[in-house]
Amino acid sequence: MKQNWKPGTLVYPAPAVLVTCGNAERSNMLTVAWTGTICTNPAMLYISVRPERYSHGLIRQNMQFTVNLTTAGMARATDLCGVRSGADTDKWKLSGLTPYPGVAVECPAIAESPISIECRVKTIMPLGSHDMFIAEVVNVLADERYFEADGRFDLRRAGLMSYSHGAYYAQGEQLGTFGFSVKKKK
């Protein structure tokens, strides 16, 4: 038997990412769990941010941001950046994270992030409690520590973090690969 609940957004787990925004002179970062892929070609993603957040104004002003994937080792910093405001706090200093110069955007990436996805905003869609920033991916910065000898990128080794209904989790064991359910056995 299932219970009926009021409508809610219970699509969990979600990636816990740090979004960097602003420019070299004034930048900030915020924790976002409401993000995802929209399109492959062109590569596009979205983030949803409350209009009252300090970073919302920076993103709207500069029309760019960087999505930085987080790891279990970044859990404390990720949480801190979600509960402190950049309006009165230097989150870089407080979190101990390191700005890494943007390549295709003005805002910095996070050096400790295994993947940083640089984006330019195409559309801002007001939806109620949050505005959705629909953006085109213009560059991806991949940490060389996670490259295999054959040139493949092994994101599994990064220990990515997710968010589920108020808590952070390290990713678990691999259950299969795409298409494993229909592969013929040798």
CATH of 14-170, one of 2.40.50.100, 2.30.110.10, 2.40.30.60, 2.40.128.20: 2.30.110.10
pLDDT tens-place string over residues 117-135: 999 999 999 999 999 999 9
Q: Is the pTM of the predicted complex or chain greater than 0.75?
A: yes
Beta bridge partners of 39: 44
Per-residue pLDDT, 155:
86
> Who wins on pLDDT, 65 or 178?
65
Given a cut of 80, whether residue 186 has pLDDT beyond it is no
Q: Domain boundaries in the chain?
A: 14-170
Please answer whether residues 59 and 65 qualify as being in contact, where contact means their C-beta atoms are separated by less than 8 angstroms: yes
